[in-house]
Amino acid sequence: MPNWQELEQKYYMKVFSRLPVVLVRGAGTRVWDEAGKSYLDMCAGLAVNVLGHCHPTVAEAVCKQARTLIHTTNLYYTIPQLELAELLVENSCADRVFFGNSGAEANEGAIKLARKWGREHRNGAYEVISFENSFHGRTLATIAATGQAKFQKPFLPMPDGFKQVPFNDLDALKAATTAKTCAVLLEVVQGESGVHLATHDYMVGLREWCDEQGLLLMLDEIQTGLGRTGKFLAYEHHGVEPDVFTMAKGLAGGVPIGAVLAKERAAVFGLSDHGSTFGGNGLACAAGVATLKTIFDEGLVVSAAQVGSYLLEKLDDLKARFEVVVATRGLGLMAAFDLEREVAPALVRSALERGLILNNTGPKTVRFIPPLIVTKAEVDEAIDVIARILPTL
Ligand SMILES: *Cc1c(COP(=O)(O)O)cnc(C)c1O
């Protein structure tokens, strides 16, 4: 067998510090490496594998569509795209959708909508306000919107028209709003920076401020959407509806897809304003339809809420038992704990050796974003492994 790690070193661009396993197969909440060792996956391909690995309904839908019609472009009508559009619009506050291929591309679409909105409704305003420690993707516009210098620094100068303010601080947002501002872009729960929740008052105040000022409220639901937080979309927790929101990650159960969704008044794209060769193609959308139907038919949103609260209870137990655990946070199946010292990478490695896949968002923070099908017994299994590692750190 080739040494895959050596091939990566030789041929792949050096952007990923990968963990030392080659994963070859997955089923449900488990994956297997080359040597046949199995792992419980509490990371789910970074919140992508919402139905677990190779869910039979998704696999069947992909195979069937692959034998029927993989791709045609958007010069024609295709059936899976319109079925998925209907499912998303009928189950959210949006009136219209546009499909792309990734989260970053979805956010690019949202930013373009905001700029056109500003041109038409706010005297040419073009600036998007986002938040410190946010994450919106890796394209130029989305790193400009991402409030983390480390993603921007090698690629300066950033495109014009982006500004970040502290999270959960309405006064800061109000002070930063100018005649140039056209929209606010935010994650209801910041994922990549370690599961930080917007407060209810903040979400309500934000909606009021955007209404008062004529700004678009745009939510990045790429990680929080699809039931992850215990509601189909995280804004439902707050009774606040966005004008625009984006989805990606788990939307097609592991097949690349992204979506920008908008209320009618914010869906300002006209003919030729936007496009995508692959966006919304048959293969991705057939996988998306199968994924959404499974989430709804199997009650996985409710299950994510229930198993999610159980997970948070268990994390609180860990905090009570081990001094090195200093904080826990979460909403549904999006949870994290902070460690007193910079030992999160060591914990993740040790867990991997013991057959458990976790993710650390920083040197002190461990994150859980398991498949929505995860059970309480599997949460117990993960917690037991962590409880055995914590005293060794
Ligand atoms: C993952 C993520 C993105 C970027 O998605 P890609 O598909 O990697 O481009 C954007 N926003 C949030 C909140 C994410 O979690």
pLDDT in tens, 68-87: 999 999 999 999 999 999 99
Name residues contacting ligand 1 (CB within 6 A).
102-104, 107, 135-137, 187, 191-192, 220, 222-223, 248-249
pLDDT band at 343, cuts 50/70/90? very high
Q: Please count the residues of the chain.
A: 393
Instruction: Give the model confidence (pLDDT) of 223-246 as tens digits.
Output: 999 999 999 999 999 999 999 999
CB contact at 8 A, 129 and 165: yes
The pLDDT value recorded for residue 147 is 85
Sequence-distant contacts of 71-75: CB under 8 A, at least 24 apart: 71/278, 71/281, 71/282, 71/283, 72/281, 72/282, 73/277, 73/281, 74/275, 74/276, 74/279, 74/280
Q: Average pLDDT for residues 376-382, to the nearest whole number? A: 98
The DSSP string of 42-72 is SSHHHHT-TT-BT-HHHHHHHHHHHHH----
Distance 305 CA to ligand 1 centre (A): 22
Distance 73 CA to ligand 1 centre (A): 24
**Is the pLDDT score of 1 beyond 90?**
no
pLDDT band at 391, cuts 50/70/90? very high
**Is the pLDDT score of 315 beyond 90?**
yes
Question: Which of 138, 222, 224, 276 gets mutated to test ligand 1 (max ligand atoms within 8 A of its CB)?
Answer: 222
What is the distance between the terminal CA atoms of the chain, rounded to a whole angstrom?
Answer: 35
CB contact at 8 A, 146 and 130: yes
Atom of ligand 1 minimally distant from the CA of 221: 13
Residue 20 per-residue DSSP state: S
Please give the model's pTM, rounded to 2 decimal places. 0.98
